[in-house]
Amino acid sequence: MIRLHKEDYEKILAHARKEAPVEACGLIAGRIDGSDKYIEKVYILTNVDHAEEHFTLDPKEQLASVKDMRANGLVPLGNWHSHPVSPSRPSDEDKRLAYDSKASYMILSLMEEEPVLNSFHVENNEATKEELVIE
């Protein structure tokens, strides 16, 4: 299970809406307790591709985020990105680029009136939906 604070969900949603139709992206960090992941910080990063169906995290921002995680005793939990006009599920490219099988890959879909956020575990090009609780 992965747990996300409502305020952090709102932060992701606001940034994704602001960036649309370009994909928005960022990192998530926190702590792991058994099989549960607790997101304690959401990082908003720049999509250097400025593309509507692809994202690349800004390397300098990514490094600064990882340094901040370490300084605050947090562990990297994964990343998030938006799908402005497609469902909340990993695309073939998302699965192909999911190199870390320990990471959670969160995808926020804005295609419907009500946004949909899901989290996935991706391993060997197979995506499995994780239980996500927004509290």
pLDDT digits (tens, 9 = 90+) for 19-34: 999 999 999 999 999 9
What pLDDT digit, counting tens, does each position of 110-126 carry?
Answer: 999 999 999 999 999 99
* pLDDT at res. 70: 97
**pLDDT-based confidence at 88, cuts 50/70/90?**
very high
Residue 133, beta-bridge partner list: 3
List, in order of start, the domains of the chain with CATH numbers. 2-134 (3.40.140.10)
Q: For residue range 23-74, what is the model confidence (pLDDT) as tens digits? A: 999 999 999 999 999 999 999 999 999 999 999 999 999 999 999 999 999 9
Q: Is the pTM of this model over 0.85?
A: yes
